[in-house]
């Protein structure tokens, strides 16, 4: 018997199960052992329990390697020459069999399938709860589904939109839907979330309506560049204005605020801080599948982790990003990467801290949090317990500035400058009196480095300035080893890896579908079919 493809497999698994595993202590609800679909969904607490797994377990295979392998490796923020989950992305040689690619596809459709189950069960089976409570819980699930579809559209372009898992199980051989429809579907989900999520989070780590407005600002900004003319240099002003409005809602109406110190963002003790708008919630010392494994891949020495899970000895900042850093940008550099001679008193604090003295290339720091003792026991082997940022306020500030700039060469708009410079001021960088797209591009790359976003910045730009992006990618020295001198801020190219780097082309801006999916559903290779939307758009979102 042939193995069912990943979309169908996850739909079958989630349709047949009613599982709440993976709830972290940010939500402490445990269902009765005799719970069934018919006697659950009877209270607001039941609804919160139903949405809890959407914050961790279904995202695990995305977070484990793909988050940074693709987001940082393919954009060339990261150089890991011996890693089969980073290097193929860096050299643009990934295939339909590349492990993290296949796992991420499965993870996104796990998010979608679990969200669908949650939405449909709440809609059809809830009792003793108000319509407002139902809509609020469904809004959490629709936020997750919309976010997953934004990732899918950004990475694979045309993909299958699913609202009901049972229909796909009945007929698994279906066409993809066009990228523009996938964007529209994601936007409608996120608009519903912005309308129905509560003003303030019901518990630490939970979404609120401003989380949705923030994610909408990102998706609107992406959608603005999408057209049939990828080198037009022009974006849709309607979507730019929507991005501005959505970001402004967050900035002017929400209680989110920037953390005072940049480095404080990356300590376990500061999970769910004032700047965190959406973060994956990992379980301290939990079972595999609900934990954050990234420290094990990044940490260069067991002296950092206190155990044998420290495999980052050949994971470095890329030559391209290190030479991009402004010499004055020391705060963000030391929080993101480890230059030679840099001391970190918070890592293995009991032994006096950790000093990076092993290489003239820069190890990864962001995501590395130290031993269990450094984190009050809230970490262990392959478990840093650090939340994974999916969206934070600094990005929304930069989206706001870019939406105001639009397609102009520069802007001195007071609002754009105010929030753009707030990001720079925290990093002790000089403020600017006029900004260009390149200024914003630099801020996004450096501020969000190792947070999985830079590849999507390149993709977004390629929607309307494709050749510029391809030229940029082909001049990044993607296999370079270097020497970095922290004292003089000098980066010197040493040599190039002998393995080939493929040329960036328009075709390589899209990932290949996993081979197992294509084998089971040959319609993936056929032209997409327009999606039939079943509900109207929200028209009063900004009123």
Instruction: Give the C-alpha distances (Å, rounded to integers) separating 234 from 405, 407, 432, 455, 516.
Output: 12, 7, 25, 20, 38
Q: Model confidence at 20, in pLDDT bands (50, 70, 90)?
A: very low
Task: Label residue 536 by pLDDT band (50, 70, 90).
Answer: confident
57 near 106, Cβ under 8 Å?
no
Residue 186: per-residue pLDDT:
98
Cα-Cα-Cα-Cα torsion 399, 401, 407, 408, nearest 10 degrees, comes to -170
Give the pLDDT score at 127.
Answer: 87
What would the mean pLDDT of 124-142 be, rounded to a whole number? 94
pLDDT at 5: 53
pLDDT tens-digit profile of 167-201?
888 888 999 999 999 999 999 999 999 999 999 99
Asked if the model's pLDDT at residue 14 lies above 80, the reply is no
Quick one: fold of 6-216+511-525? 1.25.40
pLDDT at 37: 64
Average pLDDT, rounded, for the chain: 92
Strands laid side by side in the 337-338 sheet: 78-79, 316-317, 363-364, 337-338
Query: Tens digit of pLDDT for each residue in 376-412?
Result: 999 889 999 999 999 999 999 999 999 999 999 999 9
> What distance in Å separates the CA atoms of residue 181 and residue 431, rounded to the nearest whole number?
40
Give me the phi and psi of 481, to 5 degrees please. Answer: -105, 155
Overall average pLDDT of the 1-29 stretch: 42
* Percent of the chain surpassing pLDDT 70: 93
CB 155 within 8 A of CB 62: no
Residue 423 corresponds to which tokens in the numbers above? 């990001």
Mean pLDDT, residues 288-307 taken together: 95
pLDDT of residue 481: 94
pLDDT at residue 169 in the model: 86
Which DSSP letter does residue 428 get?
A: T
Percentage of the chain beyond pLDDT 90 is: 86
Residues 439-498 pLDDT 10s? 999 999 999 999 999 999 999 999 999 999 999 999 999 999 999 999 999 999 998 888
Q: How do the domains of the chain map onto residue ranges?
A: 6-216+511-525, 294-390
Report residue 208 as tokens.
Answer: 């609120």
The pLDDT assigned to 307 comes to 94
Q: Which residues pair with 317 in a beta bridge?
A: 78
Q: Any idea which of 107-111, 178-182, 379-383, 512-516 has the lowest mean pLDDT? A: 379-383
Give the model's pLDDT for residue 19: 36
């Amino acid at each position: 018997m042939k193995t069912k493809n990943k979309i169908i497999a996850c739909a079958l698994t989630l349709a047949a199960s009613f599982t709440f595993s993976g709830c972290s202590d940010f939500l402490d609800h445990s269902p009765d052992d005799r719970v069934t679909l018919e006697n659950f969904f009877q209270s607001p607490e039941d609804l919160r329990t139903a949405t809890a797994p959407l914050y961790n377990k279904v995202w695990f295979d995305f977070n484990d390697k793909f988050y940074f392998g693709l987001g940082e490796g393919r954009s060339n923020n990261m150089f890991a020459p011996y890693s089969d989950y980073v290097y193929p992305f860096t050299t643009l040689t990934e295939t339909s069999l590349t492990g993290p690619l296949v796992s991420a596809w499965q993870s996104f459709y796990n998010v979608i399938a679990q969200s669908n189950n949650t939405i449909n069960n709440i809609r059809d089976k809830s009792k003793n709860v108000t319509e407002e409570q139902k809509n609020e819980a469904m809004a959490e699930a629709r936020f997750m589904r919309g976010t997953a579809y934004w990732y899918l559209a950004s990475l694979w372009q045309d993909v299958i939109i699913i609202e009901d898992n049972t229909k796909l199980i009945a007929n698994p051989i279906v066409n993809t839907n066009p990228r523009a429809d996938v964007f529209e579907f994601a936007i409608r989900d996120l608009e519903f979330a912005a309308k129905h999520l509560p003003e303030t989070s019901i518990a630490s780590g939970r979404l609120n309506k401003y989380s949705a407005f923030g994610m909408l600002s990102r998706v609107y900004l992406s959608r603005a560049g999408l057209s049939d003319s990828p080198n037009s240099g022009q974006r849709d002003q309607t979507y730019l204005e929507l991005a501005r409005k959505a970001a402004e809602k967050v900035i002017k109406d929400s209680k989110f605020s920037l953390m005072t110190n940049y480095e404080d963002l990356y300590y376990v003790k500061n999970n769910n801080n004032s700047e965190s708008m959406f973060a994956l919630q990992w379980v301290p010392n939990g079972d595999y599948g609900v934990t954050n494994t990234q420290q094990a891949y990044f940490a260069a020495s067991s002296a950092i982790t206190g155990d044998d899970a420290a495999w980052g000895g050949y994971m470095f900042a890329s030559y391209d990003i290190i030479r991009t850093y402004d010499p004055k940008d020391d705060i963000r550099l030391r929080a993101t990467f480890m230059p030679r001679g840099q001391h970190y008193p918070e890592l293995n604090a009991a032994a006096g801290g950790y000093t990076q003295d092993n290489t003239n290339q820069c190890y990864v720091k962001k995501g590395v949090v130290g031993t269990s003792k450094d984190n009050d026991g809230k970490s262990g082997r392959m478990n840093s317990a650090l939340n994974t940022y999916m969206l934070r306020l600094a990005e929304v500030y930069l989206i706001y500035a870019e939406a105001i700039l639009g397609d102009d060469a520069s802007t001195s708009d007071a609002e754009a400058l105010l929030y753009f410079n707030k990001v720079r001021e925290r990093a002790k960088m000089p403020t600017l009196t006029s900004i260009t797209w390149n200024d914003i591009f630099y801020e996004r790359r450096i501020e969000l480095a190792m947070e999985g976003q830079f590849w999507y910045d390149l993709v977004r730009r390629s929607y309307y300035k494709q050749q510029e992006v391809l030229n940029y990618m082909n001049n990044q020295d993607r296999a370079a080893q270097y020497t970095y001198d922290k004292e003089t801020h000098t980066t010197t190219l040493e040599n190039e890896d002998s393995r080939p780097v493929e040329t960036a082309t328009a075709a390589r801006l899209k990932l290949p579908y996993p081979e197992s999916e294509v084998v089971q559903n040959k319609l993936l290779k056929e032209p997409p079919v327009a999606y039939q939307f079943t509900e109207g758009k929200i028209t009063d979102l900004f009123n």
